[in-house]
Amino acid sequence: MLTALTLIMGNASSIENSKVIFLEINGKLEKVVFSTHCSSRDIHELIAHAAGTNKHSVISLKDQQGAHVPLSPTIPVNTSGTPYKVFIQSPPTTNEDAAMFAQVITQVADQFSKVFKVEEMKMEINSRLSALERRLEVEGLKSVEIEKCKRDISDIKDQIWTAQKKFVDFNRMSAIVDTTKWCKKRYIASFQKYTLSQETIDYLKKPTFDIWHWEPNEMLSLLEHMYHDLELVQEFNINPITLKRWLLCVQENYRNNPFHNFRHCFCVTQMMYGMIHLCELWDRMSREDLGILLTAAICHDVDHPGYNNTYQINARTELAIRYNDMSPLENHHCAVAFQILSNPECNIFANIDKDTYKRVRAGITMLILATDMARHGEIMEGFKTKVVKFDYKSKEHMDTLKMVLIKCCDISNEVRPMEVSEPWVDCLLEEYFNQSDREKMEGLPVAPFMDRDKVTKPTSQIGFIKFVLIPMFETVAKLFPQTSDVMVKPLQEALERYEAMKIIDDKKSEDSKTT
């Protein structure tokens, strides 16, 4: 008797996509029809069904000569006179195996319970729930006088503001991001006091200052000197010990990035200090404004992670989410800066009144946010329209000037002599390459000027100097002509140097292609 079994998959119903084979199963002749699109497992289960055995059984086929035949869609077609013999080996299923499996499961469950202390955890959770229930009952019985609470809160705020000394346990302060730890309270003895020579004091005021020859503690002393020299210590009634603590804390919250590190912070601040002296800004703005400029320069990149805003937004990092993709890094720098200042031991603005503090905070925030290069065009267009007839008495005009000044200082490396500026290019490219490598690894877009396979030192600088730096500093020179020789001219020389370097690189590249 011939029994027919059909397995239909895909277009198996069409003749050209079907295959027919004949099998001998336990002395019975079976006809099997299946699609050429079937898998080997499908055919295996079909034959197991025809044989009335478990689908997990081991099934093998042999032809009339005793040769093994593959159990797959490529099996050769035969006839009813030459059926394949089916050999079946049932899977081992014993009570001993089931018992052993059950025993293993039991042991795993026992070990899981011991390791994670499930019973103890249950007891602790029940205990806490009971305590919370009791507390809710007690709190529910209390009546709250809303107006009295508001008055108490207002009084407490005033007391906190006027409190001059209050111990804060820095070890319990949590960082804004996981990778940062706020610096702990330190002894001021670790901040060595340096006696600055008159030569160093004069040199510190110049844009040509070489920032590579100074150790971290020396840079701290130079920053401290700037606050004293500009009379900011007197202006804000800063406790000298607090100034030292604040500088130490800011230093420790700069990360060890190739470019955006504490030396970059010092570099930007020194350029700001140099521009204040070069342009004699104390004749144009208040000491309060000078303090805002210098403090913003020091804090402008604090806790920079080494990956720019584009990466933060594309990678959907915690910072990008927190600040809704709007200048996430600059907003973070502001937050960290004022988190440090919120500690009374480091608050250099502790002795000023509320209104002054409000102006200082708004000014520092405005300047740090202005360092986002995404806002470069907007800020420079506003400055160009105002510089035609600049009004030093206008708050709007002065705010724009201060934003342009910190932007100039932030990207002023090429203003410095070549031996000082060129190492910064190497540092910046290293940080760029680190980011582009990570972006490639994470499948994110890569900017050409950051790709190590596409950018060179001259190509990274030529466009930036020509279209960003020179136009910006030339506009500043319209307001402060004394910056033309000191800043614009070195930028033009740097552009010529990199253009010559590019010609040499291009020639080497052409020569290597021809050889």
Binding site, annotated residues for AMP: 260-264, 301, 410, 461
* C-alpha to C-alpha distances, 403 to 77, 164, 185, 267, 341, nearest whole angstrom: 83, 32, 33, 17, 22
What's the CA gap between 479 and 69, in Å, rounded? 92
The full 3-state SS of 311-375, as one line of letters, equals: HHHHCCCHHHHHCCCCCHHHHHHHHHHHHHHCCHHHCCCCCCCHHHHHHHHHHHHHHHHHCCHHH
User: Which entry of 260, 304, 332, 333 is annotated as an active-site residue?
Assistant: 260
Task: Determine the residue type at 40.
Answer: S
Provide, for the chain, the percentages of residues in helix, strand and coil under a 3-state DSSP scheme, each rounded to the nearest 5: 60, 5, 30
Annotated binding residues for Zn(2+), written as ranges, equal 264, 300-301, 410
Give which of 155, 15, 255 is closest to 263, Cα–Cα.
255
Sequence-distant (≥ 6) Cβ neighbours of residue 231 within 8 angstroms: 287
Q: Clarify whether 260 is annotated catalytic.
A: yes
- Angle at CA of residue 11, ends 7 and 16, nearest 5°: 95
Backbone φ, ψ for residue 35 (5° rounding): -80, 145
CB 457 within 8 A of CB 500: no
Per-residue H/E/C for 432-480: HHHHHHHHHHHCCCCCHHHCCCCCCHHHHHHHHHHHHHHHHHHHHHHHC
No. of H helices and E strands in the chain?
21, 6
DSSP 100-137: HHHHHHHHHHHHHHHHHTHHHHHHHHHHHHHHHHHHHH
Question: Binding site: what residues are annotated?
Answer: 260-264, 300-301, 410, 461
Q: Are 405 and 289 in contact (CB under 8 A)?
A: no
Question: What are the residue numbers of the active site?
Answer: 260
